[in-house]
Amino acid sequence: MRVGVAGASGYTGAELLRLCAAHPQLDVVWAGAASQAGSGVGELYPSLSAAYPHLRLDELDPAALDGLDAVFLALPHGEAQRIVADVRKSVGVVVDLSADFRLRDPAAYPTWYGGEHAAPELLPSFAYGLPELFRADLVGAELIAAPGCYVTAAALALAPFVRAGAIEPTGVIVDAASGVSGAGRRLAHTTQFGTANEDFSAYGLLDHRHTPEIEQATGAQVLFTPHLAPMTRGILATCYARPAGDTDTAGALALLAAAYDGEAFVSVRDEPPSTKATLGSNAAHLTARYDQRTGWVLVVCALDNLVKGASGQAVQCANAALGLPETTGLPTVGVYP
């Protein structure tokens, strides 16, 4: 199947190229990046030079996508909503990695993203791309909004408990840390080595823009606090909720295990998960506890923010929409050490 990657010069775009290079069915025939147009993929990312020795980055022109089976949009927020109407006319499946089509309510965009949505009429047409929780919507979908890393980790941790009525859906706390690659390739003071190294900081207090998406995906009212950790990749989300009835640690673990029974990319274990164990894989590792002393349920999720938290999940969604096994071309095993 012939696919394209728009925004291929960014970290999620480069990760899409890496994953597609190992995919037996997805052949990248076009890659676009306005800021690096004319550059060879191997010049920008030497790690990709063997897989794409002749592929060059083009300006984004919807006409160049005509006839492709799928296109991944790894663009900055606000860009996809301006071009999707044209792109969808000539492409089989469009998977958007930005937040442009994740929220169902167009009125939420001015509040959380600072501007009116450019294509609110298209929001109902997008399937939400978290397969383990919304798989039925992805089969045969033509437009998919893939969630980001924080939302994926929080939703995988909390949604099974909310759906089972096992926790109170209000007053839920999500405390999560991300590696610096989550901020993207663009140069910023906060993610420079001299700033991020040997530091651990909170940001987006009370108003981080992913809050409404976490609430939409989990079905819970959430207080979300993100942190920047001095690592390149990874998300570790620690979630706290009050139980809705009698429970214990064994019951909490059993609930998670049952929810993800048979899921190739979700591992539920007794041991606390670590980001390093998921490095480079499309896997999410989970555990849960019930603290009898304080009366809180604790759920922890670790994943690679560029794979299961972005590009790997996008490929997983494309697989489902194109009628391929979801696991095709995606690693379940992390790179360790």
Q: What is the Cα–Cα distance from 205 to 185, expressed in whole angstroms?
A: 23
Residues taking part in catalysis? 149
Task: Order across the sheet with 2-6: list the strands.
Answer: 57-58, 27-32, 2-6, 70-73, 93-96, 143-145, 127-128
| CA dist list (Å): 113 to 75, 106, 211, 218 | 15, 11, 11, 20
Quick count: other Cβ atoms within 10 Å of Cβ 152? 27
Phi/psi for 324 (5° steps) reads -95, 155
pLDDT tens over the chain, length 337 residues: 999 999 999 999 999 999 999 999 999 999 999 888 889 999 999 999 999 999 999 998 888 899 999 999 999 999 999 999 999 999 999 999 999 999 999 999 999 999 999 999 999 999 999 999 999 999 999 999 999 999 999 999 999 999 999 999 999 999 999 999 999 888 788 999 999 999 999 999 999 999 999 999 999 999 999 999 999 999 999 999 999 999 999 999 999 999 999 999 999 999 999 999 999 999 999 999 999 999 999 999 999 999 999 999 999 999 999 999 999 999 999 999 9
Closest by CA position to 236, among listed 266, 181, 273: 273
Pairing relationship of beta strands 172-178 and 235-241 according to DSSP bridges: antiparallel
Whether the model clears a pTM of 0.95, i.e. scores above it, the answer is: yes
Ordered structural domains, the chain, with CATH:
2-146+308-321 (3.40.50.720), 149-304 (3.30.360.10)
Instruction: Provide the 3-class DSSP secondary structure of residue 133.
Output: helix
List the beta bridge partners of residue 178: 228, 235
In this structure, which amino acid lies at residue 325? Answer: P
